[in-house]
Amino acid sequence: MKRLLVLLSLCLVFSSVDGFGAKNTARSLPNPMESVLNTAVHSLDNQLMNILASLELTAMTSEAKSGNWQGIKTYLLKLEERLPGVYFYVLPDGNYYSVDKDFTNLNLGNRGYFQSLFAGKQVKGFPIYSRSTGKKSAVMASPVVAGGRVIGAMGASVYLDNLHRELNRAMALPDGWTWFVVNSAGQTMLDKDPDFIFMNVFTSGSKSLQNGIAGALKNTKGEMRYELGGAVRHALYQKLPNLDWWMILARIDGGKVKPPAKLELSLKKFVPQLQSALSRIDATLSKSIDKNHDGVNTEAGIRNLLSGIISKEPAVITASYVDVKGTLSYIEPREYKNVEGSDISSQEHVAAMLKKPEPVFSQGFRAVEGFEAVVIAHPLGDPRKNYNGSVNLILRPEFVVQPLLKNLNIPPEYELWIMQTDGRIIYDPDSEEIGRMLFSDPLYADFESLLKLGRTIAAKPTGTGEYIFQAPGSKNKVIKNASWDTVKLHDREWRVILTHRPYEK
């Protein structure tokens, strides 16, 4: 990557002499940008293919051929240091081990690359979105072959956000330039703006961009012109040598396109948005049950119901069917299938449903993956309207809150956090505080003004106050003014607190 930085720096120096970035209505781009693109393309290709080559070598070891996970793990740990991601060893039944979790009790058998991998083919850049972590990845994998058959596979789910940041730093493009990478299906694998990762140009792009990409996918390199965001863009493109990925480097006529103005964060704006988001998920569940009412008496019908909800709501981590005895019978996505058949009747929200079949919005709890979670559940009825189990959606509150905050301007002296009425922190910009109990956690024990105001917040749906606590990222104590409001779903209330440090300079 240091070599890439040096080469790119030289390219940018030469391009500045040649009028780099100047407004130019000609179709051809300054030649130095071909070097920038070529260097970035080969650097990205080398990074991913080097990982694949290392996975292939690991697959040839005696540890891999004997299924010795602890031995395999030593090799994968070294790879993880080179390129961040989830490094794993997967078995023919889809169960797998990962460096960070050892045996995961999750299953990859339904992944789009799985059958091809266990037919003996390598995987090169297959897109994967983890609903539990929110991470977008590209899978590189190589089969383990012994005795003429595939007995396992080594894989790496490489984090695309990390690659995006690394390429942005390395390319250091000035205003008026952008870049992105698409695969052969038109799916954006990388982009200067990470929000575009995994968007598909053929469904979300302008007509001229769609036409340009369609032409690019038929060639290894060339030029294209397209319009997007109200600006004409002149682009060079080049295919990665070993992956079916194409990188596009574009000059935006008229310079940098300004993003839409963001509204200032306020409870008046945010609370209705959060309430709407929760209510929408709840309504999606309710409507899906009503729409599929006749099909919920079969496994296929129930699975269609669950997968349909998953496809509509990105904040939903899993959707499951729990039967009348409290057994988790079916779950989507299928990577969680190992938990099917588990007795979860003792879980608070399940027990509440079994006692009184009506919609439930659970308290926060720590999911097995380690994140804070809540459940929205609705009962199912048979044709005679007798209780026939329930559909349970696990949500990660962060994934409900963060997309809303992204569209708001948050001044540095402001913070927003969310608390249950029992003091459990549902959301906080400091992830270390999520899931803590305000009234009993040692972190808050020495801050009496916070505890006092916290009890008032828990007791009253709206209000204002003041307390002392640490400044973000610091041990220094600061005064914080607070105002709060409430969102509510099925008798469960969240207090939404907006704080301001009035004396911060």
Distance between first and last Cα of the chain: 39
Residues 249 and 272 in one domain: no
What is d(CA 184, CA 484) in angstroms, rounded to the nearest whole number? 48
Q: End of a domain among 375, 397, 419?
A: 397
Count of CB atoms situated within 10 Å of the CB of 379: 20
Distance set, CA 93 to CA 146, 151, 200, 335 (Å): 16, 10, 31, 11
Q: Which one-letter DSSP state was computed for residue 295?
A: G
Q: Give residue 5's pLDDT.
A: 39
Residues 210 and 132 in one domain: yes
Q: Give residue 367's pLDDT.
A: 85
Residues 330 and 237 in one domain: no
505 in a domain, yes or no? no
Q: How many domains does the chain have?
A: 3
Residues whose CB is less than 8 angstroms from the CB of residue 405 and which lie 6 or more positions away in sequence, other chains included: 265, 270, 416
CATH code at position 416 = 3.30.450.20
Residues 252 and 273 in one domain: no
Residues 138 and 236 in one domain: yes
Residues 250 and 270 in one domain: no
402 in a domain, yes or no? no
Distance set, CA 250 to CA 186, 224, 238, 308 (Å): 17, 9, 12, 37
173 in a domain, yes or no? yes
Structure-block tokens of residue 166: 């690394």
Residues 214 and 304 in one domain: no
Strand 316-322 relative to strand 387-395: parallel, antiparallel, unpaired? Answer: antiparallel
Residues 173 and 52 in one domain: yes
Q: Give residue 314's pLDDT.
A: 87
Residues 237 and 352 in one domain: no
What is d(CA 69, CA 98) in angstroms, rounded to the nearest whole number? 9
197 in a domain, yes or no? yes
What is d(CA 158, CA 123) in angstroms, rounded to the nearest whole number? 12
What is d(CA 362, CA 349) in angstroms, rounded to the nearest whole number? 6
Decide if 480 contacts 467 (C-beta within 8 A): yes
Determine the structural domain holding residue 350 and report its residue range. Answer: 264-397
Helix, strand, coil shares, percent, the chain, to 5:
35, 35, 30
Q: End of a domain among 209, 227, 258?
A: 258
Q: Give residue 27's pLDDT.
A: 46
Q: Which residue has the tokens 């209000």?
A: 463
72 in a domain, yes or no? yes
Q: Give residue 356's pLDDT.
A: 93
Mean pLDDT by 10 residues, the chain (505 residues): 39 34 41 87 96 97 97 95 94 95 92 96 95 88 96 97 92 90 96 92 93 96 90 94 97 65 79 96 94 79 93 92 95 91 93 94 88 94 80 95 89 93 96 95 95 97 94 86 96 95 76
What is d(CA 199, CA 191) in angstroms, rounded to the nearest whole number? 10
CA proximity to 61, closest of 69, 466, 253: 69
Residues 456 and 376 in one domain: no
Residues 246 and 214 in one domain: yes
78 in a domain, yes or no? yes
10 in a domain, yes or no? yes
Is residue 433 classed as helix, strand or coil in its secondary structure? Answer: helix
Residues 210 and 319 in one domain: no
Please state the pTM of the whole predicted model: 0.79
Distance set, CA 441 to CA 14, 103, 364, 444 (Å): 58, 31, 16, 6
Q: End of a domain among 232, 258, 284?
A: 258
Structure-block tokens of residue 372: 């804070």
141 in a domain, yes or no? yes
